[in-house]
Amino acid sequence: MSTPRPDNPARTARPGGTWGCASLIVRASDFSARNLTIENSFDYVGNLDSPRFQPIGPNGLQAVALMLDQGADRSHLVDVDLVGHQDTLFVDAGRSLFRGCRISGSVDFVFGAGRALFRDCELQSRWRPGKPRQGYVAVPSTPAAQDCGLVFEHCRLTREARVPDASVALGRAWRPGRTFADGKYGDPDVLGNAAYLSCWMDAHIDPVAGWDAMAYTARDGQRVMLEPLDARLYEFDSRGPGAARSPVRRWLDAEQAAAFSPARVLAGWEVAA
């Protein structure tokens, strides 16, 4: 996810980074999909065991299934399976609504800067051999001036059979690098926003930490961590064996949760049934 966007994102025999690996890229408004599968079938687990690529970004294993890129808006997906491992779903632009979808992945598998509402979806964490931290679900890069980012309503957080208890984070906040007049560093105008509202969580969700920190490059060139409590990462009415309260799992009250209404998340876009 830290890979710079290439001028020409054409596919090659080498890993293309986040913006060069997607199975499907949407750059237009009013995209819709129903009752199908969008998959990036890159052999993630096989390449952990026997690496074949030079690293790009943190590990060169980005494999986006669906990217909602600049120009996308009012994207509507119903009963769609989105299948991948690292970076499965990149919702980086516009407004989007996912209803009854199943999204599977491991590392940062729902991420980006867009306004996205997930209703009655399944978020399945996949197994990564040899990794104590099996993965991260929601990784927003929401502009600080934007009031809503990735919002999950009445969703189910599930796992593959080999994913251990307490091994997956609800997410972490991504501060991507941006080029400024004085250099390239983590964009200070980005402050991730994600909320889980009345979601059921299996025991693979870390009951104590809940959310993890994520590194970015500061203006002085140092690598620093964006801590969960320094971003906008919330829960309300979480349920199931993975639901817990801790000092770093911030729970909203009912009035605060109401601020993440569909009308507000989708900024006035009304979607027909």
**Chain centre to alpha carbon of residue 97:** 14
DSSP 169: E
**Exposed, middle or buried: residue 30 (CB in 10 Å: 0-12, 13-18, 19+)?**
exposed
From 108, 187, 202, 212, the catalytic residue: 108
Distance in angstroms (rounded) separating the CA atoms of residues 186 and 2: 10
Q: Is 108 part of the annotated catalytic residue set?
A: yes
Q: Is 87 part of the annotated catalytic residue set?
A: yes
Distance in angstroms (rounded) separating the CA atoms of residues 185 and 79: 38
Distances (CA, A) of 66 to 103, 121, 188, 212, 266: 10, 16, 27, 24, 19
From 87, 92, 202, 212, the catalytic residue: 87
Q: Which two tokens stand for residue 35?
A: 């009752």
Distance in angstroms (rounded) separating the CA atoms of residues 118 and 154: 8
Q: What is the DSSP string of 213-253?
A: -EEEE-TTS-EEEE-GGGSEEEEES-BSTT---BTTBPBP-
3 state SS for 59-87 = CCCCCCCEEECCCCECEEEECCEEECCCC
In one-letter notation, the amino acid at residue 92 is: D
Catalytic residue annotation: 87, 108
